[in-house]
Structure 1
């Protein structure tokens, strides 16, 4: 099985977890009256981030480091969190820019999601590290 299938599958599973988190946080900060806007933010964020995450995975897959698996997962989580939280902040600010305290709310959403999603992402990486889906080709390539 091709590693690309693994990365696509990881991208989809991560987006489900991450989008549900963003949707919940957006409703918590902007209220249920903004259900439609929270849905739009989640839909746009999902579309944008699934593409970005795929390339993030491809880069890390090709990157050879001397990091052990736990340190690698932490490094991946940090790089992804910087990219992803920045994207969420910008999208929330663009969509809710007309609201009172939109800057403050977008900032809090990005900060809280950073903490929550770091933990979720680490657990996601640990799970994917333990399964072999899509790694058959990688193991063959590394064998002389």
Structure 2
């Protein structure tokens, strides 16, 4: 546990919450796990490693694009009229 304390400083703030760095690294590692999972499933279905890697490669970009639009839709749905008016006043 030699690196335990230095990593805590990088990954938690003074309030004990996760830092943006930790969230970013977790997001990247989760995308890697998800893509590897897709490649393994594609390999079991197709039996072709080249096809599995191709599907996984496409999946990385399609999931990023879909996630972006998903986030934008949630932002529109969850923003109240008052928040929208306040943001227009600040602009």
Q: TM-score, normalised by structure 1?
A: 0.34
The residue aligned with 1:10 is: none
How do residues 1-144 of structure 1 correspond to structure 2 at under 5 angstroms? 64-67=17-20, 72=23, 77-97=27-47, 102-129=48-75, 131=78
SS at structure 1 position matched to 2:19: coil
1:88–1:110 Cα contact (<8 Å) kept: yes
Measure the CA separation in 2 of the matches of 1:82 and 1:128. Answer: 24
SS at structure 2 position matched to 1:65: coil
Q: Which runs of 4+ in 1 moved over 6 A?
A: none
Measure the CA separation in 1 of the matches of 2:27 and 2:37. Answer: 15
Q: TM-score, normalised by structure 2?
A: 0.50
Cα 1:66–1:129 shift into 2, 3 Å: farther
Gap runs ≥5 in structure 1: 1-63, 133-144
| Structure showing greater relative contact order (alpha-carbon pairs closer than 8 Å, 6 or more residues apart) | 1
CA drift of 1:121 comes to 1.5
Instruction: Tell me the number of residue pairs that the alignment of Structure 1 and Structure 2 aligns.
Output: 63
Cα 1:105–1:96 shift into 2, 3 Å: same
Greater radius of gyration (CA): 2
Q: CA RMSD in A?
A: 3.3
Deviations 1:66-94 (A, max 9, x none): 32xxxx5x656523321211111001111
